[in-house]
Amino acid sequence: MSAVLPNNAAPAVQESPGLWTLAWRRLRQDRVGMVCLVVVVVYLAMMVASFAGLVAGDWNKERGVSYANPSFLAGAENLEAREVTNRDGESRAKPVDLSDIDPLAPRYKEWEERAAKIAVTEVKRSETLPFGGDKWGRDVLKKAVKGAEISIFVGLTAAFFATLIGTVLGALAGYWGGRVNDFLEWFYNIFTSIPYILLILAFAAVFKRGLDTIIVILALTGWTGIYRLVRAEYIKHCGREYVKAAQAIGASHASRMFVHILPNASHVILVQLSQHVVSFIKAEVILSFLGLGVPVDLVSWGTMLAEAQNELVIGKWWQLVAAGAGMAVLVTAFSMLTDSLRDALDPKLK
Amino acid sequence: MTAYVVRRLWQMIPTLAGVILLIFFLFNWVGGDPAQVLAGKISNPEQIANIRKQLGVDQPYWYQLLVFVKQVFTFDFGRSWSTNEEVSRILMTRVGPTLTIMVPVMLIETSLSVLFAIMVAYVRGSLTDRAIMVICTTAMSISFLVYIIFGQWLFGFILGWFPVQGWSESYWKNLLTYAPLPILLAVAVGVAPQLRLYRSFFLEEINQDYVRTARAKGLPEKKVMLKHVLRNALIPILTNVGIYLPGLFVGSFLLEVFFSVPGLGREIVTAVNRSDFPVIKAVTVYLAVLTMVVNLLVDVMYKFVDPRVSFK
């Protein structure tokens, strides 16, 4: 009898790893993918820190002279800055003396006294900034960080909502088929028959400008690709045995759609989400450049590039490089991460 | 074949109706009252009522929709709200410059990327292949804006090889003087993503059995690649070109804005900024029709590229 007992304490059955565990393991072996993941995480952390005001909270402060040189170019000549200082000097020159004919002349003294009481703090503007300054002497590096926050925020939220719309519609069309599918396919055809960029501009024409608007526009126009893929996944999974089994134990339609099938399509959705973040960041930059994106009191990579166009002609390249490089690094890392993610989630593809 | 084309044309009707509804919904309903925008800051209720009457927005929605449908089928969208130019005239005169730039872009871009792709695919896995792929990925991640700003500055301003911007009356002067720089920049940007895509198409074909058969029977490599592989990879390439084709008419609006080319793309951006709804509505509807027609043409062309394709 006692011989049976040890059996109960036998080592527990080894649990087989799930999809996500396996994917994570494969991703960890992908060195390039991991480096990209680190870069993306650093950018996201920067975005959160900037959002919380920990970094670049004072990007709007005019710290340096106009078009201040970057610190590593401290010695270089800066004609624009000098011109501005000169102009200031001229305006401070004494005005023409009108006291003989001016009826208000007796009050000059009173005004002078009153003016003297008002404290004017002369901000000492520095000649150089870490990565140069813009036209108003704002720190380009801080602007780039703040711009990254706005651009990434727009990319992430717009991609999230586009994925949400695409997933829900795709699930409905794929799961129900028939009339629902016909209607949604019609809807899809309408959206895809208009060239994408034209669709965005048409939406931008009727909406007001603002950060929320640009997210809405990108989400409302960008869901079509996701819809198509999710629909295909649902059609594939609908007839599978596990869904039939769920039906047999009395799972509702909603439960079958979103509890049973959705996790099995989630890898497709995740890769799509990640792809759309990249393309929406690019789209935001272009829209903001055209003045259809973020409002003027905010800064994004797109508005920085819009300023950079005129600055380059007078030799001020730092804003172009800051915004361009900031964006290029993130976009490269994000798209390579997407590739790694796809390989990790779907090993059959390799 | 005829039956297929007729059925496809028949299927376009609901989609076109949907496009008309979508645009009507956007511009006549979401867009709000255009009279407020047009009357400007100093306006009185009478002025606004007057403008509303002129534009016909005081009519009930069903009537406005009817007017819009009539406009679509008579090619008469009235006049632009901001310049008072006839919309049909705007479209006609702006298409030329856009195509002057975009047709060469399309031809050069496609032939270059197909050529490079087949070369890269042939030496797949080698250092050259990997290096080119890394370059492509990096090139794709830089914003189009940066390319244009930098290219215009370098080639137009510093080196002075091309005019910085401009456009003239003469077609040849445009094509030979003003168009080359925008074309060059568009090609430089467009080749990388297409090269990557086409490479994957070629790789798919290179691993097929018929390639091994062709090699086994002793065909020279040139023939294997250019005759067998290229022909088979042409189908996905054709699809891809077909997707981009309608975009040709919108042009690269960024290029047109930067190089002040009086094309359709710049016209749209201006119209969006001025809330010039008739122009945007007209462009959107006709480009949607064009897209559907192009899609049909591409599907018909499959038959010529690949005789195995049959129309169901």
Catalogue all structural domains in chain A, each as residue range(s) with its CATH number: 30-51+140-345 (1.10.3720.10)
A32, closest residue in chain B (CA to CA): B134
CB-CB neighbors (< 8 A) of B258 in chain A: 309
Interchain pair B141, A332: CB under 8 A: yes
Residue scoring higher pLDDT (B229 or A55): B229
Tens digits of residue pLDDT in B145-171: 888 888 888 888 878 788 877 777 777
Which candidate, B174, B155, B195, places its Cα nearest to that of B256?
A: B174
Tens digits of residue pLDDT in A198-246: 888 888 888 877 888 889 999 999 899 899 999 988 988 888 899 889 9
The answer to whether A230 touches A269, Cβ cutoff 8 Å, is: yes
Whole-number Å distance between alpha carbons of A158 and B291: 26
Hey, what amino acid is at B217?
A: K
**Of the partner residues A190, A196, A336, the one whose CB lies closest to the CB of residue B22:** A190
Whole-number Å distance between alpha carbons of B129 and B50: 66
pLDDT number for residue A350: 44
The answer to whether B100 touches B249, Cβ cutoff 8 Å, is: no
Tens digits of residue pLDDT in B71-129: 878 777 777 777 777 878 888 888 888 888 888 888 999 999 999 998 888 888 788 88
Distance from CA of B213 to the nearest CA of A (A): 24
From first CA to last CA, the distance across chain B in angstroms is 9
CB-CB neighbors (< 8 A) of A286 in chain B: 143-145, 254
Interchain pair A198, B283: CB under 8 A: yes
- For residues B253-274, average pLDDT: 85
pLDDT number for residue A163: 94
The whole-chain average pLDDT of chain A stands at 81
Residue scoring higher pLDDT (B64 or A6): B64
CB-CB neighbors (< 8 A) of A188 in chain B: none
Helices assigned H by DSSP within chain B: 2-24, 34-39, 45-55, 61-74, 87-122, 127-141, 144-151, 171-173, 180-206, 209-216, 221-223, 230-244, 247-250, 253-258, 264-274, 277-305
CB-CB neighbors (< 8 A) of A329 in chain B: 141
Tens digits of residue pLDDT in A89-116: 555 556 677 777 778 877 888 888 888 8
Tell me what percent of chain A is helix, strand and coil, each rounded to the nearest 5.
70, 5, 25
Question: Taking 90 as the threshold, does the pLDDT of residue A158 lie above it?
Answer: yes
Interchain pair B271, A305: CB under 8 A: no
Interchain pair B14, A186: CB under 8 A: yes
Which candidate, A125, A132, A120, places its Cα nearest to that of A63?
A: A125
The answer to whether B273 touches A291, Cβ cutoff 8 Å, is: yes
Tens digits of residue pLDDT in B26-67: 887 777 666 666 666 566 777 777 777 777 777 777 888 888
pLDDT number for residue A75: 66
User: Which of A122-126, A279-283, B145-149, B230-234 is predicted least confidently?
Assistant: A122-126
Which candidate, A37, A30, A24, places its Cα nearest to that of A337?
A: A37
The phi, psi pair for B27, rounded to 5°, reads: -90, -30
Whole-number Å distance between alpha carbons of B225 and B234: 12
- A220 and B CB contact within 8 Å: no
- Strand-strand pairing, A126-129 and A64-70: parallel
Contacts of A165 (CB under 8 A, 6+ apart): A219, A220, A223, A226, A227
- A332 and B CB contact within 8 Å: yes
Tens digits of residue pLDDT in B195-226: 888 888 888 888 888 888 988 998 888 888 88
Number of A:B CB contacts under 8 A? Answer: 118
Q: Checking phi first, is residue B84 left (phi over 0); if not, alpha (psi -120 to 50) or beta?
A: left
Interchain pair A286, B145: CB under 8 A: yes
Strand pairing partners for A133? Answer: A139
Contacts of B258 (CB under 8 A, 6+ apart): A309, B148, B149, B152, B165, B182
Which candidate, A329, A285, A292, A277, places its Cα nearest to that of A309?
A: A285
Residue scoring higher pLDDT (B250 or A297): A297
**Of the partner residues B32, B157, B284, the one whose CB lies closest to the CB of residue A194:** B284
The answer to whether A228 touches A170, Cβ cutoff 8 Å, is: yes
Question: What value, to the nearest 5°, has the Cα angle with vertex A46 and ends A45 and A51?
Answer: 100
- Among B residues 152-191, those touching chain A with beta carbons less than 8 Å apart: 153, 157
Whole-number Å distance between alpha carbons of B31 and B271: 14
- How many alpha carbons fall within 13 Å on the CB side of residue A93? 7
- How many alpha carbons fall within 13 Å on the CB side of residue B2? 0
Whole-number Å distance between alpha carbons of A210 and B182: 31
Residues written for chain B: 312
pLDDT number for residue A166: 94
pLDDT band of A1, cuts 50, 70, 90: very low
Hey, what amino acid is at A46?
A: M
Interchain pair A202, B284: CB under 8 A: yes
Distance from CA of B218 to the nearest CA of A (A): 30
Whole-number Å distance between alpha carbons of A320 and A147: 13
Tens digits of residue pLDDT in A19-75: 788 888 888 888 888 898 999 999 999 888 888 877 777 777 777 777 777 767 666
* String of DSSP letters for A280-299: HHHHHHHHHHTTSSS-TTS-
Interchain pair B149, A305: CB under 8 A: yes
Distance from CA of A49 to the nearest CA of B (A): 24
pLDDT band of A300, cuts 50, 70, 90: confident
Interchain pair B19, A195: CB under 8 A: no
Q: What is the pTM of this model?
A: 0.82
- Among B residues 252-281, those touching chain A with beta carbons less than 8 Å apart: 253-254, 257-258, 268-269, 271-273, 275, 277, 280
- Among B residues 16-55, those touching chain A with beta carbons less than 8 Å apart: 18-19, 21-23, 26-27, 30-32
Q: How many C-beta atoms surround the C-beta of residue B135 within 10 A?
A: 12
